[in-house]
Amino acid sequence: MAKRGVAQVMATHSPLSARLAEEAGFDGLWASGFELSALYGLADVSLLSMTQHLDMMRAIAGQSSLPIVADLDTGSGNAINVIHTVSEYERAGAAAVVIEDKTFPKVTSLVAYGRQELVRVEEFQGKIAAAVATRMDKNLIIVARTEALIAGLGEAEALKRATAYEEAGADMILVHSKQKTPDEIESFVHAWKGKAPLVIVPTAYPEMTVERIRAHGKICMVIYGNHAIRASVTAMKEVFARIRRDGGIQRVYGDIVSVEEIFRLQKMEQIKADEIRFLR
């Protein structure tokens, strides 16, 4: 982030999507709860277990050299759960962990009229303090995420919470919004007087370009929250429909990646080289 100004972090739900994000030049990976829930055909409402998400993050870490920003949702419960969760994710290779101030079980943020309940400020301060006390490496970034704007509590409440979370030891503040334009977030950013850099997820307000983010000077990371799973769904829908329409795979053949490209992503060349070297 010091080098790039604004780190651009792409959502992932698998080691394959992580590898594609790395090849596309992103600075980091978002181990998204929303994406993995969708991959399982589930709503993002704390239905996946912590270990399901952790296992996938481990698999992603094994296949990519990019830093991973792990979406811990609520930290799986109270401050005691946070201690266990942060310890597991740090050991699994997370570079940053994001914990949000919603109650457990949480409800996905962007859904219209979602049940958005936040824990008390003091309780969440305890959770952030627990995360800070748990990390083994001081370079593990603890990001406190406030859902005050998502819950419709207004900017004053969001600022109050962000300030309290910074006091509790958060390295960065993620402030989320589901407004269709950047006004709400930009107003928060202008009003933010804390030292902690900000993180945003502009899914709902896509005109917030990197250039516009950079101009604010206080935002150090942008997370593209669900673009891997949405891109996959777009591509699969289109190709599946064409195959049904065409009565076979003969016409999509040239419009999808070759089997050889999948071999490349699977590092099949290395397997062949290892066979020559080791199979006797």
**Which is nearest to 145 in space by CA: 202, 201, 93, 192?**
201
Asked if residue 71 binds Mg ion (CB under 5 A), the reply is: yes
Binding piece for ligand SPV, criterion CB under 6 A, among 32-40, 49-57, 58-66, 119-127: 32-40
Nearer to Mg ion, 39 or 252 (CB): 39
Q: Using CB distances below 5 to 8 A depending on partner kind, what does residue 110 bind out of ligand SPV, Mg ion, none? A: ligand SPV
Sign of CA pseudo-dihedral 103, 108, 110, 111: negative
The rounded distance, in Å, linking the Cα atoms of 19 and 65 is 9
Near ligand SPV by CB under 6 A: residue from 32, 116, 146, 177: 32
Angle at 131 between CA 3 and CA 192, to 5 degrees: 55
Which of 27, 66, 60 lies closest to 199, judged by CA? 27
Residue tagged active-site, from 27, 44, 71, 73: 44
Among 26, 34, 124, 188, contact with ligand SPV (rule: CB under 6 A): 34
Q: Closest separation between CB of residue 11 and ligand SPV, Å?
A: 6
Residue 44 is a catalytic residue: yes
Least distance from Mg ion to the Cβ atom of residue 166, Å: 21
Reference 169, options 218, 126, 122, 128; nearest CA is: 128
Among 12, 64, 109, 177, which residue interacts with ligand SPV (rule: CB under 6 A)? 109
Does 110 help bind ligand SPV (rule: CB under 6 A)? yes
Amino acid at 138: K
Instruction: Note whether 33 binds Mg ion by CB under 5 A.
Output: yes
Q: Residue 18's Cα: distance from chain center in Å? A: 12
Closest approach, Cβ 206 to ligand SPV, in A, equals: 12
Does position 226 bind ligand SPV by CB under 6 A?
A: yes
User: Which residues participate in catalysis according to the annotation?
Assistant: 44
Judged by the rule CB under 5 A, the positions of this chain that interact with Mg ion are 33-34, 71
Judged by the rule CB under 6 A, the positions of this chain that interact with ligand SPV are 11, 32-35, 44, 71, 108-110, 201, 203, 225-226
